[in-house]
Every structure is written in C-alpha cells, then in structure tokens.
Amino acid sequence: MVSEIQKVSADLEVQKKDIPVPAQIQDNKPKSVDSVFSDIKKLDKSIEGGENNIFARAEDQKAYLEASAADDPQKKKDFIKNLLIDDLIGGKKIDGNVDGKIDGQDIFNVKDKNALQNILSSMMETLGMKKPEDIANSLLPELSKQAQSRKSLSLPEMRSLTSSFANNNFRNSKFPGISGSQASSVANLQTPKFSGDTEQLIQDTVALFKDRIGNLVQKGVIKDEQEFVNLVKAMMKQESGGNQNAVSNKGATGLMQLMPETARGLGVNPNDPADNLKGGVAYILQQLETFGNIPEALAAYNAGPGNVKNGKWQGFKETTGYVRNITAMADKLNNQRA
C-alpha cells in the first residue's frame, strides 16, 4: 500500500498547468489565518439566519467553531485545508474546482458571489497558494496521505486525478469509473466510420471491445456478445431514440447522451456519432466490469457510480425507470433471437 501512495506522490511531480480557481489572487502578503477567521466571522454576522449559521453542513459549522476557539494557529490552518480539500475533490465524486461547493451542494450559506470568492481566495492565500498549481502542490499531497481512509477516493482514482493535472484536464477525473489509462485506451481505438446505419455502427463499435466483452462473458456478467449488442441497442433507443443530434436539457449529447465531462474523460468527441457511441459503449463496459451485473451498470451509467455504490440510486425514480425500460427492451431483443 505504501508503494502505491508513493507512486501517487510521484505523479504529483508532473508539470501542472492551469486549474480552475476562484477570483484572481493578488501577489501581496498573504492574510494571516486569524484574519481569515475574522473575515468569516464578519460574513457570518451579515447573512440571514443569525450568527453561527455560515456553513451549510453541520459538521463544517462545528469544526469551524472548534478551530475558532483554539489558540493553536495550526488547528485553524488544518480546518481551512480540510475544507478546501473537500471543495476541490468532493465527498462522493471528484469535483475538480475550488468553487464553494461539495458534490454540487453549497459549503457556505452565502448568496453574495463576490464575498464567497473573496473568502475562498483568502483561504487559499493563507495556505500559501498564489498560483493555480499551488492547489496541487498544497492539497493533493495531503490527499495521498489520506487515501487509505478516504472512502470517496481510491488510489487508482488518485492516479487518474494527478494524471489529469499533467494533461491540463482536471475534470476528466470527475468520473471515478474511468481511470487515466482506460480513458487513453478508449481514445486510441480507431473510431469506426459512420455511413448513417446505426445498426452497423453498433456492430463495428462493439467489435473494438471484443476482448473486454469476452472477459465479461467468462465471468457470467453477460451471456454472449449479442446480448451486449442488444443492451447497447436498447440503451441508444432509451437515450436518444437513435437521434445523433439529440441534446438533453442537462447538456447530454448524441446517440448515447454523453455529458461533456464524461466525453472528455473518455477522450471522445460527443458531437461525432461514431465517437459518441464508442464513448458510450466504453462507459457501460466499465460499469459492467465494476458492478458485475446489468441493472447496477445501467444505474451507474444514468446516475453515476457513486450513487450505485451507496445504494441511493434505488430511490431515484428516473434511474429505476431507466433501468427497467432498457432491461425490458433488451430482453425483448434477446427473446427474438432465441
């Protein structure tokens, strides 16, 4: 395990480029940690709901009050550092931005965006982060130490995350189901030519992943290659109805309705029908390999791997309906060939 963590730390030494950060941080003397806490306290008094209500999560509010009462400046710094780590990485999925959110939920009960940006910038500055790459230098090494106990981030995900810094594409790591090496292997596969025949495109695309499909057959996850083909057909019908120009209100695109971040993580062009299908096939394959069964793999494709790992997907009407519809369509196709 130690060697794995050392590998992660070594990965951090790669050249890092632009990373999304809050408002521009001035090259002046960093604020003291006490000054930052003073700013948070002032902001706390100015917001609705009364004092001691600045943090949305109860655990953050408690940790903040404990750090505020401590005489040790290091405890205050640790609070700031841990909060920024949660912001940067997220709790259940990797975020990749210092934006005042954890898993899409606000950290602060602050509506004034400028005030929020100022607080985040001051927090970063207090830890000596004046340049974007300082986020990686200051926070990610700490994550490598936490990797064994941090449930939301496995060591392979850490490697994928640090690899994204090197490629100036942090958001690739938003999807823990896609490791850096897997994303690269997908991008390197020659995308089949699309003549307008989606049935043929599915066959040609599935052929790219013959070995991985064979492994799933051996493990009993699927019966044979044709069952996987039928699953993809059913998914495409559910996702886009076979419309290569389909765009959802959430921004999902194309035949397999890939979100932009998922497409980037896979290294495919979501606006190209053949590349879109290749990405969708690769992503559902990854979920089948991860969860070992079709229903949970479909749920992960729709709601994200994290919501399958924690079981929350079963409470999502959209996702349960998605799984039910695709399973029914795929079963019908399978019965037709029996």
**Catalytic site residues?**
239
Answer whether 272's CB lies under 8 Å from 191's CB.
yes
User: DSSP readout, 166-224?
Assistant: HTT-GGGGG-TTS-HHHHHHHHHSPPPP--S-HHHHHHHHHHTTHHHHHHHHHTTSSS-
CA–CA separation, 313 and 323 (whole Å):
10
| CA angle (310, 312, 318) in 5-degree steps | 140
CA–CA separation, 88 and 90 (whole Å):
6
- Among 143, 37, 170, smallest CA distance to 82 is for 143
Neighbours of 261 (CB within 10 A): 16
The full length of the chain comes to 338
Q: Tell me phi and psi for residue 135, to 5 degrees.
A: -60, -50
Core vs surface per residue 277-304: b (16+ CB within 10 A) or e: bbbbbbbbbbbbbebeebbbbbbbbbbb
Answer whether 106's CB lies under 8 Å from 100's CB.
yes
Answer whether 282's CB lies under 8 Å from 179's CB.
no
Q: Tell me phi and psi for residue 331, to 5 degrees.
A: -60, -40
The tokens for 143 are 């994550």
Query: In the Cβ-directed half-sphere of 20, how many Cα atoms lie within 13 Å?
Result: 14
